[in-house]
């Protein structure tokens, strides 16, 4: 009898271990495609491929980092241990008259909570912008979006308070639902919807010499880009460099150097990037002006030139003004 009970207990233990092993190997990201009342995004990546991508883009095992770079690296590591949420709110609208037509602009507040520097971004979009986003996303994510309902457009009564309020709530839930889906929130189409109009305006101001206005918009956008593009830090390098150009032309070399360092930290293992050499040249000029160490930057530039064929390279400003040209 004791032998039977011992065998039974042993079988139960094996089954329990098997269940635990099976559970631990299931993909945790399956839950991510489920809508939630408040969407949260773990800063630790959902799969090993993301960890590999981030480690390659932030810290090379063979790189030699300065004390300041190491401090920045560990600050980023600590940030990644905290849970971050992006919350979408649509508190108000305004009616715009354009030629003989009218349309409603929805004010969208994008809040970041759970980080060291909680802040918000404010953008405005109209119904047709949401419509275009939905069509674009369906082209790529039709299966993921089969249960996503887009707020329908009514033929009459578009500007009644009741209809506008209903749409505000519907678009708020719509954005939260899209953001809850990992592949959608990381897609270029979704990110462009939230940032591209402002970037186009900012670069238009930059090309027109309106550096103060361009800088104001770029500083607003860069915070949102950093939150949306954590898995692809190289994608915000052009915006950082545009901020450097604005600060430099506004004779703020200290601020220009600060944002230049942020851009260089994302390029230190991507020296073939089109912004790398122009940024280095600008940083050498700024470092010399500020009395900082420019020799190490000069060495990096000379090292880059030895590896590359001598071809014409645009200046940082020339590259910046070419972004978002219609």
Q: Which long-range contacts (CB under 8 A, 24 or more apart) does 248-253 make?
A: 248/282, 248/286, 249/211, 249/317, 250/211, 250/212, 250/215, 253/286, 253/289, 253/290
Chosen domain end from 186, 212, 240: 186
Higher pLDDT, 113 or 203: 203
Indicate whether 13 pLDDT > 70.
no
CATH number of the domain at 90, please. Answer: 3.30.1520.10
Q: In the structure encoding, which two tokens stand for residue 77, read together?
A: 């590591």
Count up the domains in the chain and report the number: 2
302 within domain boundaries: yes
Are residues 203 and 181 part of one domain? no
Mapped onto helix, strand or coil, the DSSP state of residue 264 is helix
Residue 282 structure tokens: 């600008």
Regarding whether 180 and 91 lie in a shared domain, the answer is yes
The answer to whether residue 18 is domain-embedded is no
One domain for residues 156 and 257: no
Q: Based on the domain organization, do 165 and 252 belong to the same domain? A: no
State whether 158 and 202 are in the same domain: no
Residue 37 lies in a domain: no
Q: What is the pLDDT of residue 189?
A: 96
Q: Token match 């645009």: residue?
A: 314
Asked if residue 173 and residue 98 are part of one domain, the reply reads yes
Q: Both 166 and 222 in a single domain?
A: no
Instruction: Looking at the structure, tell me whether residues 199 and 177 fall in a common domain.
Output: no
Flag whether 61 is in a domain: no
Q: Domain for residue 13, yes or no?
A: no
Per-residue pLDDT tens over the stretch 80-128:
544 556 889 999 999 888 777 888 899 999 987 654 455 788 999 999 9
Mean pLDDT of 286-296: 95
CATH code where residue 224 lies: 1.25.40.10
Range of the domain at 217: 195-322
Average of per-residue pLDDT across 198-220: 97
Beta strands, E only, the chain: 40-42, 83-98, 101-113, 119-126
Of 154, 186, 218, the domain-final residue: 186
pTM over 0.85: no
**Does any domain span residue 98?**
yes
| 235 and 293 fall within a common domain | yes
| Residue 17: inside a domain | no
| Mean per-residue pLDDT over the chain, rounded | 79
- Among 186, 210, 234, residue at a domain's last position: 186
Query: What is the arithmetic mean of pLDDT over 275-295?
Result: 95
- For the stretch 22-36, pLDDT in tens is 444 444 444 444 443
Average pLDDT of the residues in 203-220: 96
The reply to whether 172 and 251 lie within a common domain is: no
Q: Per-residue pLDDT for 237 more than 50?
A: yes
Q: What's residue 23's pLDDT?
A: 41
Q: Is the residue at 208 inside a domain?
A: yes
Q: Are 91 and 204 contained in the same domain? A: no
Q: Is residue 201 domain-shared with residue 310, that is, in the same domain?
A: yes
pLDDT score of 292 more than 60:
yes
- 276-290 and 253-267 helices, crossing angle to 10°: 140
């Amino acid at each position: 009898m004791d032998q039977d009970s011992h065998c039974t207990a042993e079988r139960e233990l094996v089954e329990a271990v098997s269940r635990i092993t099976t559970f631990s190997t299931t993909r945790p990201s399956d839950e991510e495609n489920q809508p939630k009342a408040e969407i949260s995004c773990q800063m630790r990546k959902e799969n090993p491929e993301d960890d590999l991508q981030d480690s390659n883009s932030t810290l090379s095992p063979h790189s030699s980092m300065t004390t300041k770079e190491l401090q920045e690296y560990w600050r980023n590591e600590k940030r990644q241990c905290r849970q971050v949420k992006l919350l979408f709110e649509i508190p108000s609208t305004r009616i715009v008259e354009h030629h003989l037509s009218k349309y409603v602009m929805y004010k969208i507040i994008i809040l970041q909570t759970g980080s060291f520097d909680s802040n918000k971004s404010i953008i405005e979009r109209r119904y047709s912008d949401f419509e275009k986003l939905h069509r674009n996303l369906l082209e790529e994510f039709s299966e993921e979006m089969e249960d996503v309902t887009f707020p329908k457009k009514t033929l009459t009564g578009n500007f009644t308070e009741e209809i506008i309020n209903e749409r505000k709530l519907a678009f708020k839930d719509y954005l939260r639902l899209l953001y809850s889906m990992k592949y959608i929130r990381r897609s270029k189409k979704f990110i462009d919807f939230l940032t591209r109009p402002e970037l186009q305006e900012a670069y238009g101001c930059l090309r027109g010499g309106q550096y103060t206005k361009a800088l104001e918009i770029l500083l607003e956008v860069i915070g949102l880009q950093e939150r949306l593009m954590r898995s692809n830090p190289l994608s915000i390098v052009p915006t950082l460099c545009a901020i450097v150009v604005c600060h430099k032309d506004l004779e703020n070399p200290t601020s220009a150097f600060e944002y230049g360092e942020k851009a260089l930290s994302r390029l230190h293992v991507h020296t073939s990037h089109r912004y790398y050499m122009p940024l280095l040249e600008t940083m050498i000029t700024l470092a010399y002006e500020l009395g900082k160490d420019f020799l190490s930057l000069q060495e990096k530039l000379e090292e880059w030139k030895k590896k590359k064929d001598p071809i014409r390279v645009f200046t940082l400003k020339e590259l910046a003004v070419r972004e978002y040209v219609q």
